[in-house]
Amino acid sequence: MVEFTIKPLKVAEIRAPIGVGMMLHDMTQTVDAPVFVWYIEGGREKILVDAGVGDPPKENPLEFSVRGGGERGLRNALEGVNTSPEEIDILILTHLHFDHVAFAKLFKNSRIYVQREEWEAALNPLPTSRPLYDRRLIDPLERLDLVPVEGDWEVSTGLKLLHLPGHTEGMQGVVVSTRLGKAVLASDLCYTYMNLNSPFPHTPFYPIGIYTDLRKWFDSVWKVVRTTTDRKLIYPGHDPTLEDKTLPEEE
């Protein structure tokens, strides 16, 4: 069995209202969060999860701002692990929001995995989701080696896609075999550990502020929890404590 390690590579910081990360919280105060791409090492192929962030759509009503990022931010991050977009064999897109797909067009030699449901939702999004999908970033995928999958999907030995709707209609996470067991890259199903480990007794998880179906969101978080034997092996999409780490960490 292949035992992978995971490196969260920070490509930018994004500023958003607190209520984006925590449902019903303050929408007037903002917080900075890292934007990661995730490099998976240990096999014969070079594997990356997500494709960076550029400028958010101008019509974005949530007024996200980005510091860093762009193509240079992505290339600098990948240079830190001695590779480039052109050298990546497998690119997994957890979903197609602007801060996860911005530079997918650079991965011309990659096989690119996305949920078919997410692809269809991005082309015809819910009205509330329209500002988060930028067709200028998504349409170039049609000219690449795009693989639309349906549901849970084994990419290779020790690497599996996990269908996790809720944040978006076709969200997916990545299950990675490691020396400590199965780890899950949860992406924006959980922005931070606060979503996974609720501070309130009335709910096991605390919802994010951006979702398409809250019942499916809870079901998906339970699915992630059942997938691994240790919640420490669940990695949220924008948690600052993961910066500069090699995962899983030494015990």
Q: Is 239 helix (H, G, I), strand (E, B) or coil?
A: coil
- Residue range 204-251, pLDDT digits in tens: 999 999 999 999 999 999 999 999 989 999 999 999 999 999 999 976
Q: What is the mean pLDDT of residues 101-127?
A: 97
**Alpha helix locations (H) across 108-203?**
116-123, 135-138, 193-196
- Label residue 44 by pLDDT band (50, 70, 90): very high
Quote the pLDDT of residue 55: 77
pTM score, whole prediction: 0.96
Taking the CA of residue 137 as centre, how many other CA atoms within 13 Å lie in the half-sphere pointing to its CB? 26
Say if residue 38 is exposed, middle or buried (CB neighbours under 10 Å; 0-12, 13-18, 19+).
Answer: buried
CA atoms within 13 A on the CB side of 21: 26
Tell me the mean pLDDT in the region 141-170. 97
Predicted pLDDT at 63: 73
pLDDT at 21: 94
The domains located in the chain, with CATH, are: 5-242 (3.60.15.10)
199 or 109, which is more confident: 109
Q: What is residue 56's predicted lDDT score, i.e. its pLDDT? A: 76
Q: What is the pLDDT of residue 46?
A: 98
pLDDT band at 61 (very low <50, low <70, confident <90, very high): low
The secondary structure of residue 240, as a DSSP letter, is: G
Percent of the chain scoring above 90 in pLDDT: 92
